[in-house]
Chain A
Amino acid sequence: MHYIKTFIVALLLALLGGCAFWGSGHRAQQNGSVVDYLYPNAKQAPMLQAGVTQLRPPVRVGIAFVPGAGWGGALSEQQKTQLLERVKASFAKHAYIGSIEIIPSAYMQARGGFDNLDQVARMFNVEVVTLLSYDQVQFNDTNVLSMLYWTIVGAYVIQGNQYDIQTMLDASVFDVKSRKLLFRAPGTSRVAGNATMAGLSAKSRAAQSDGYNQAVDQLIPHLQTELDNFRERLKGDSSIQIRNKEGYQGGGAADWGLLALAGLLAALVYGKRRRAG
């Protein structure tokens, strides 16, 4: 009888220990690097191509997520499109930006390089591509409450698991023809929470999605700021020229300045005539 008791206690301890072992911390990472995508076989730093980048507003822009290893678990194509739509909305309000195309992930070839970028740009008829690279790291740990998982019911009601998801998004805007990085803007987020053992998977998946959303929230104002800085930089940067698009429409318009000047001139002469007459 004594041996049976000892066996049962040992079995329970082993099961408890097994739970603790099963629930011990682990790390998962999903990333898509713009460098890996554009320079897949680079053994040395890419050479900068000298030359003048010509931008012809209204510029046609494409937006895409960089394809990468480990992608697919966190965000569905639909969610990715929703995120890209939000980035698109932040670009769309500028007059010098024409059409904005969202490029689905299926068109982006992993480690495709500039050749793939050229193909995609031709396919979607865009001149500038915004590549969203990402890096999301998820840490899963257990807390002291996980001790109660051995009750079986505890695995469903006790939040003994912790997750910590850190996300970094980076929008790099490239001129496809000159292959020049025009500007970039980052967005980061951190989402942490607790979950039951049974609900960890679903909850952490939602948190991953939330992490991307929050990173985009931070990315958009940064992107606006960088866009404004880029416009300022254009005034002094001789390597980037703004040219008119082939076949553009021009208008000779008298603005308020000319109208005011004309009014002033007419008023002066009218006054003089009145005094003379």
Chain B
Amino acid sequence: MANVAALAKRVPTQRAPTQRVPTMRGPTMRAPASTLLALAALALVYAPAALGDALAYDRLAILSGQLWRLWSGHLVHFSAQHGITDAVALFLIGAVLEPLIGTRRLCLALSWGAALIALALLLGLPEMAHYRGLSGLDVMMAVMALCALWQQRIFPRYWIAVLATLLVLKTGCEALGIALGGTSLPAGITVMWQAHALGAACGILEALCRAQRLRKRAELVEPLLHEQRDVVAFDRLSVPQTARQASV
């Protein structure tokens, strides 16, 4: 029994994903990591051009060993309008996502998501020499937010489905070259719908990993909880008997 109690202590008590209720108290939507990231992107818009060049995704530079560009390329932009649009989108999506999944998990997801998107662009689009922009991560976070809202049932699921459909349609239109409105990119810069698609894929991958992890935890915790319940029941049954023995 002592072993079971120790084991139960080691495994954190975890609610099933569908039962989890996020912190929905109060109108505050604190998102420190997203805010910092958006502010960093905005600051880099007005940073010296040389700094932007040193941080941007540059295929040849990455292949020659400047691996930080895989991450930093997302933070720099081609113009102020480009940077502001991306940063505002990131801030808005982060304000939804970060309170839902936590800062630690968001930072972890963004750290591998940014590198994965850039690596996929490096391997899949050898003709693209330069890349800048946060929107790949914006889409990744939007997908993660939709998945989290879907799992946690905060809204009716058909709302989430509608929003997800809109996101898919938007990316599809970009892939087909159908202009849906003004782009924030300067003339001569191609909109990389592939980065958006990769961001969406990373978002789905993250949500699937999370769901898998939660399921495993639930599977691990469930027998322990059963066992704990059995022990408690046994204790309840055995206590009167022990008391009787003592009285005898």
Which residue numbers of A lie inside 8 Å of B, CB to CB? Answer: 58, 95, 235, 242-259, 261-266, 268-270, 272-274, 276-277
Q: B86 to A266, Cβ gap below 8 A?
A: no
List residues of chain B with CB within 8 A of the CB of A247.
Answer: 127, 129
Counting from the closest, the 5 A-B pairs by CB-CB distance are A252-B133, A277-B26, A252-B135, A262-B92, A276-B24
The secondary structure that dominates the B interface is: mixed
Complex: how many Å from CA A248 to CA B129?
6
**CB < 8 Å: which of B24, B134, B184 contacts A255?**
B184
With contacts A254-B184, A256-B182 known, is A248 near B138, CB below 8 A?
A: no
B179-194 contact mask (Cβ, 8 Å, vs A): 1 or 0 = 0111111011111100
Complex: how many Å from CA A261 to CA B93?
9
**CB < 8 Å: which of B26, B167, B176, B185 contacts A273?**
B26
Most buried by B among A261, A274, A276, A277: A261
Complex: how many Å from CA A243 to CA B177?
12
Complex: how many Å from CA A244 to CA B131?
13
**CB < 8 Å: which of B127, B133, B195 contacts A244?**
B127
Q: A270 to B29, Cβ gap below 8 A?
A: yes
With contacts A257-B181, A265-B93 known, is A248 near B159, CB below 8 A?
A: no
Q: B188 to A249, Cβ gap below 8 A?
A: yes
Q: A263 to B133, Cβ gap below 8 A?
A: no
Q: B89 to A254, Cβ gap below 8 A?
A: yes
Q: A265 to B131, Cβ gap below 8 A?
A: no
With contacts A261-B167, A269-B154 known, is A251 near B131, CB below 8 A?
A: yes
Q: B145 to A265, Cβ gap below 8 A?
A: yes
Q: B133 to A251, Cβ gap below 8 A?
A: yes
Chain A to chain B contacts (Cβ below 8 Å), 15 pairs: A245-B127, A247-B127, A250-B189, A250-B191, A252-B86, A252-B138, A252-B195, A254-B134, A255-B85, A256-B182, A259-B92, A266-B92, A272-B24, A273-B29, A277-B24
> What's the nearest-Cβ distance from chain B to residue A46, in Å?
32
> What's the nearest-Cβ distance from chain A to residue B15, in Å?
17
List residues of chain A with CB within 8 A of the CB of B199.
Answer: 252
Complex: how many Å from CA A250 to CA B185?
9
B69 at the interface (CB under 8 A from A): no
List residues of chain B with CB within 8 A of the CB of A253.
Answer: 82, 85-86, 133, 135, 183-185, 191
